[in-house]
Amino acid sequence: MKEATLLETLGQVGEGEAGVIFREYIRGAIISSFMDVMIKEVETLCGPNYRPLAGNQTYRSGSAPGICILEGRKERVDRPRVRRKTPEGSEEVHLGSYSAAKDAGAVREALMRALEANVSGRDQRLVYPESPLTSKSSVSRLWVKEGVRKIEEIRGRELGGELFFGIILDGIRLSPDLTAVVAVGMTCDGRKIVLDYQVGSSENREVCDDLLKRIIRRGFKPVERLFCVLDGSDALKGSVIAHYPDAVTQRCLIHKERNIRGYLSKRHYSEVSGYFKRLRNAQGPEAAREIYRELHAFLASKNTNALHSLEEAGEDIIALHLIDAPASLNVSLLSTNFIENIFRNVRAKTGRVKRWRAETDQAERWIAYGLLDAERGFRRMRGYEDIKKLLEKLRKPDQPAQEKAA
């Protein structure tokens, strides 16, 4: 349709019909331009029609049915064919313009965005109804390929170029027999970086050791004594101490408060919460030890199991206070709350997984996808301006300040 005819037609129809006509015109114009580009490429390779280039080994060979991808749809076209003479006979010459025109990269990107927005594989045809890539099997293959790329993105990071002072370790349970332990590093300028993760049957020692060994091989190294925030798992702490014997391990106050309240009557909840609130706001070892003694005495008069839960953690619940760290870092370093927020994001992304297949890398792909998505929203730690003061408290005895950490 010529432009003049198009304008005349648009002036005679309603708004909705005009939109359809205009889009069809644009689609036809694009296909026509695409054909012109292919013809120009053929002329470059073979010379003008009926005037082949002298001594040229390439020649026209008719046409064949082909496709191009336009707005996610397959469009049928007649593609020109070119062949090249060879000692054995001849071979097909692939046109770069045709390869580009049938590249569905833009469609793949759209499908990935839809998957990340929790559109199921079965509903992908709603994104591009006529796309050749939206069958269930095609979407599944696309997701597997993208998931492998996300695993490589996390585990391919070089960690040796960052200055770390600490790490947060916690586990997310995917199914009764599948758990992922996740490590998030904390840098000296207050950033948080997903280091790695390891999937296993539980938060056992082997899983934790494999995780720490891998990040160490990739260059993870704290500038002073390692500061580590843990959820309370003995396996996690045992693995950390095995690799970093002088590490400062802080137990998550939120986890411990939850455990203690599980043994108490509801009428004691507010008093327990009051003690833990005071611990979160405390400054220095003396204040922390005083609150710990008061909480110990309170639980001793109320419930033996709650008291044993407190004693099991011991002074790990006030480890940050015992090194006299700045109180401005309490919110960031007294709990695994930050990594719990990451896990909420992961659970939101994995919610439609109905069956976890431990014999494949399915869990690794989903966890990598969820972690990278959460990492895009990371902000600096609260109180990061005082990390330099924390580093002074973490300095090893008789060790001079490290210039690189200054």
Closest CA to 279 of 290, 270, 288: 288
**What digits encode the pLDDT tens for the residues 365-378?**
888 888 888 888 88
- Residue 170 near residue 181 (C-beta atoms within 8 A): yes
Q: Which of 150-154, 225-229, 245-249 has the lowest mean pLDDT?
A: 150-154
Residue 158 has a CB neighbour count (10 Å cut-off) of: 8
Phi and psi at residue 192, to the nearest 5°: -120, 135
Closest CA to 127 of 106, 103, 100: 106
**What digits encode the pLDDT tens for the residues 2-26?**
445 544 554 555 555 655 565 665 5
Alpha helices in 246-318 (DSSP H): 253-261, 269-281, 285-300, 304-313
- Give residues with Cβ within 8 angstroms of 90, minimum separation 6: 83, 84
pLDDT of residue 32: 72
DSSP assignments along 333-347, one per residue: HS-SHHHHHHHHHHH
Please compute the mean of the pLDDT values over residues 245-269 and round it to a whole number: 93
Rounded CA-CA distance 221/214 in Å is: 12
Note the pTM of the prediction, 2 decimals: 0.67
**What digits encode the pLDDT tens for the residues 371-404?**
888 888 888 999 999 999 999 999 876 655 544 4
Tokens at 371, concatenated:
């972690």
With both helix axes pointing from N to C terminus, report the angle between 337-350 and 362-375 in degrees, rounded to the nearest 10.
120
The number of C-alpha atoms within 13 Å of 105 and in the hemisphere containing its C-beta is 4
**What digits encode the pLDDT tens for the residues 262-296?**
999 999 999 999 999 999 999 999 999 999 999 99
Place of tokens 């204040």: 287
- Residue 148 near residue 366 (C-beta atoms within 8 A): no
Q: Residue 145, Cα to own-chain centre: how many angstroms? A: 15
Residue 342 — pLDDT band, cuts 50, 70, 90? confident
Indicate the helix (H) or strand (E) that contains 77: strand 73-86
